[in-house]
A and B are shown apart, each in its own frame.
Chain A
Amino acid sequence: MSKMYKISKERLDELYAAVSAVKSLYLPVRSGENQSEFKKWSDQSDVCLDSLNTVKSAKELFFPQSENLISFKVSGKDIELVEDRDPSEPFVLFGVRACDAKSFSILDSVFLSDPVDTFYKSRRENGTVVTLACRAPEETCFCGTFGIDASDPAGGDVKTWLTDTELYWEAVSEKGEELTKLLTGILSEADADADTKAVDDLKKNTKEILARLPLADLKLDYFSGDRLNEKLNDVFYAPQWQELYKSCLGCGTCTFVCPTCQCYDIRDFDTGHGIKRFRCWDSCMYSDFTKMAHGNPRTSQLERFRQRFMHKLVYYPANNGGEYSCVGCGRCLAKCPVSMNIVKVIKAFGGEKA
């Protein structure tokens, strides 16, 4: 284990300024009434480290809502290809909760498998992730169902814990060590006894709350095991979907706030002076999703609704060694206009206490 550092809570602005001096810093800042989003830090930023879920998840830093891929300039019979890629800047993503941190590995298996998505890859390489352990989980949190430890987040480069007075800082990767080195003047070494105890107490306290959460008993038994592929048809044709989908408005909010939703559309836009090819988030809940020359393979909202959950609970795990593509962040629970969500789906398939 590498060395633990700390900085007093009052001096966090100095920490932000020091990071910003070397790399762009993105962290949760207040955005609208009672909401937060990951935004680039400036000394004007209203940083809010006590918000658990930003509206959009941290995935946006690696997989932006929309980005230009390439442009075409047409002159006569010649078509010129222009690379539009923004030269990915090195950046630090601070204040990432355990659930979002876990989502990166789920996105990695999609975007970093052959054929590698070079846009995503360069952002992953350029980003240093600083996680922040949770202290006060919400009733909607169910990261534990996916084996995620909110008190000790994995998947980042630096781990941090925030107590009432201090931020504790521990590098857990090479990238993390490098960042720590740049901050030697700002961070001070933590005390081996007192500070270790403070962090341990915080972890213990969080774990105790996590165990009491209303969704702590949520089990995925129905969707587990190596027989997932065989069970696929049973789930697909299950009568439960007939009822579950009915309230769904097909709005796509759940997919846009979800840290693990990864579908996108690629289109060409005629600017009048040439063509820009862009990609943007798409939603399986939308009627034009995966529209092909012959039309759309999923013509009803039932089919579209089912697709979202089949992907998260069946298709993805069947193809990724049993790992689900949900991290239990609870965003879809808090944000769906009609409160239909993955927990209700899991429970409809018997996901109560084992």
Chain B
Amino acid sequence: MQRINDDVLNKCRDLIENGTCDRVLAWEEGEFCYDVTPAVFTGDTLGKMIYDDFCAANQSKYLIDESHKEGRIAALLKPCDTYSFNQLLKENRIKRENVYVLGVPCDGKIDAEKARGLGIKGILGAEIDGDTVAFETIYGKKTCSKKDVLHEKCLSCKGKKHMIFDELTDPEKEPETAVPENGTSRFDGVSKLENMTAEERFRFWRGELSRCIRCNACRNVCPACSCRQCVFDNPASGVSSKANTNDFEENLYHIIRAFHVAGRCTDCGECTRVCPENIPLHLLNRKFIKDINELYGEYQAGYDTALDAPLTSYTKQDAEPGIVHERGVR
């Protein structure tokens, strides 16, 4: 299987050769087809660089550190990554002049874990042909529809348009506007929860959040969680909760984190992608996004770097605190 488009590779080589950049943030191949790792390449190592349907990680957060180093880095950003990039720019976390954003097209990324869930075990390689994925496994060839093994974040893709870029590797593929892919609204899951009784909803979240092992993958991967030291990692903060005093504390942690990133979360879906327990964390964040849309008007974090954020700006039309009571328990 070819793991990088020649045009993308040549573009990166050009950028280094003509002195625009001195390194490239992309992916490195692993042992199997899916276990790719974000990595930085220089002119000598470019040959090892890949970008294919398994490169799901959001690269933007790495640019906080990378953009504060000397030189200029070219970053392969997918459409969804550019929302996070914009948001980080807005928060002054990335040095824009040190990054050359190379917008790469995306056809949706494949989740090996979902394939395992379909009974496709012992995955060695995969061939993607349109909507079909043919997995080569220890136990023979297994085929499935691509849609069945897409990451959650890809199932609710915000659209294939890059929100920011210096150059696109495939300008012809770039749509005029960002149109959500795959037909379903990304708020369907939230609406389903809203239609439950408070008790049902409580039970749902207790069941999901209580599986958390507090590995912190969701927080550490999150581009909106970019504090140098998280308050929960600081032994002097008095809230560094390495162990829970009761079985609700873990649940609360996630609710607090969702509040903390509300209005800044671009719905990049990384938290759900990385959770080892498959907790649908995106539903919490999307609830906040949906509420913000309803109460303050449509807003998409990371859409650009200029728009005022609804939760950090004041207008006379803003919802009054009483809204909590009015909307309250159904």
* A contact residues vs B (CB 8 Å cutoff): 31-35, 37, 55-56, 65-66, 136-139, 209, 212-215, 243, 246-247, 249-253, 256-257, 265, 267, 269, 271, 278, 280, 282, 286-288, 291, 333-335, 337-341, 343-344
Q: Mark B12-46, 1 if CB is under 8 A from A, else 0.
A: 00000000000000000011101111111000000
Known contacts A252-B216, A280-B243, A137 near B122 by CB under 8 Å: yes
A291 to B121, CA, bound (A): 41
Tell me which residues from 63 to 89 in chain B have a Cβ below 8 Å from any Cβ of chain A.
none
Using A35-B278, A278-B243 as known contacts, say yes or no to A139 and B124 having CB atoms under 8 A apart: yes
The reply to whether A253 and B217 contact each other, CB–CB distance below 8 Å, is yes
Other than the known A249-B221, A253-B216, what 10 A-B pairs have Cβ atoms closer than 8 Å? Answer: A34-B114, A34-B117, A65-B213, A139-B138, A212-B138, A243-B39, A246-B39, A253-B215, A253-B217, A280-B243
Task: Flag if A247 contacts B39 (CB, 8 Å).
Answer: yes
Q: Is the interface of A mostly helix, strand, loop or mixed?
A: loop
Cβ-defined contact, B243 with A288, below 8 A: no
Q: Is B242 an interface residue (CB 8 A)?
A: yes
- Chain A residues with CB under 8 A of B138: 137, 139, 209, 212-214
Query: Can you list 22 A-B pairs, Cβ within 8 angstroms, ordered by A?
Result: A33-B117, A34-B278, A35-B276, A139-B123, A139-B137, A209-B138, A214-B124, A247-B37, A249-B220, A251-B216, A251-B221, A253-B216, A256-B213, A265-B242, A267-B242, A267-B243, A287-B233, A291-B235, A333-B31, A337-B57, A339-B36, A341-B35
Is the CB–CB distance between A65 and B243 below 8 Å? yes
Please tell me if the beta carbons of B277 and A34 are within 8 angstroms of each other in the complex. Answer: no
Known interface pairs A267-B242, A282-B242. Does A288 touch B233 (Cβ–Cβ under 8 Å)?
A: yes
> B278 to chain A: which residues have CB within 8 Å?
32-35
**Counting CB contacts under 8 A, is B50 at the interface?**
no
A34 to B123, CA, bound (A): 16
A337 contact from B39, B40, B124, B217, Cβ within 8 A: B217
Which residues of B from 214 to 255 have beta carbons under 8 Å from A?
214-217, 219-221, 229, 233-235, 240, 242-245
- B interface residues (Cβ-Cβ under 8 A, vs A): 30-32, 34-40, 57, 62, 113-114, 116-117, 121-124, 137-139, 208, 211, 213-217, 219-221, 229, 233-235, 240, 242-245, 270, 273-274, 276-279
Q: Is the beta-carbon distance between A55 and B276 smaller than 8 angstroms? A: yes
Closest CB of chain A to B280's CB: distance in Å?
Answer: 8
Residues from chain B with a CB closer than 8 A to the CB of A287 are 229, 233
* Selected contact of A56 from candidates B116, B213, B220, CB within 8 Å: B213
Q: Give the residues in chain A near B213, CB-CB below 8 Å.
A: 55-56, 65, 256-257
Q: Which residue of A lies closest to B54 (CB)?
A: A339
Residue pair B35, A32 in contact (C-beta under 8 Å): no
A291, B233: Cα distance in complex, Å: 11
Query: Contact between B121 and A214 (Cβ–Cβ < 8 Å)?
Result: no
Chain A, residue nearest B113 (CB)? A34
Residues of B within 8 A of A139 (CB): 31-32, 122-124, 137-138
Compute how far the CA of A37 lies from the CA of B213 in the bound complex, rounded to whole angstroms. 11
Q: Name the B residues within 8 Å of A253 (CB-CB).
A: 215-217, 274, 276
Task: Give A66 to B124 CA distance when docked, in angstroms.
Answer: 37
Given A31-B277, A32-B277, A136-B139, A251 and B39 contact (CB-CB distance below 8 Å):
no
Contact residue among A31, A136, A252, A291 (Cβ-Cβ distance under 8 Å from B211): A31
Counting chain A CB atoms within 10 Å of each CB, the highest count among B36, B229, B243 belongs to B243
Question: A338, B32: Cβ atoms under 8 Å?
Answer: no
A338 lies within 8 A of B31 (CB): no
A286-B233, A287-B229, A335-B276 given as contacts; is B40 within 8 A of A246 (CB)? yes
CB proximity of B95 to chain A, nearest CB, Å: 18
| Given A66-B243, A139-B138, A280-B243, also A247-B38 (CB < 8 A) | yes
CB distance from A282 to the nearest CB of B (A): 7
Quote the shortest CB–CB distance from B271 to chain A (angstroms). 10
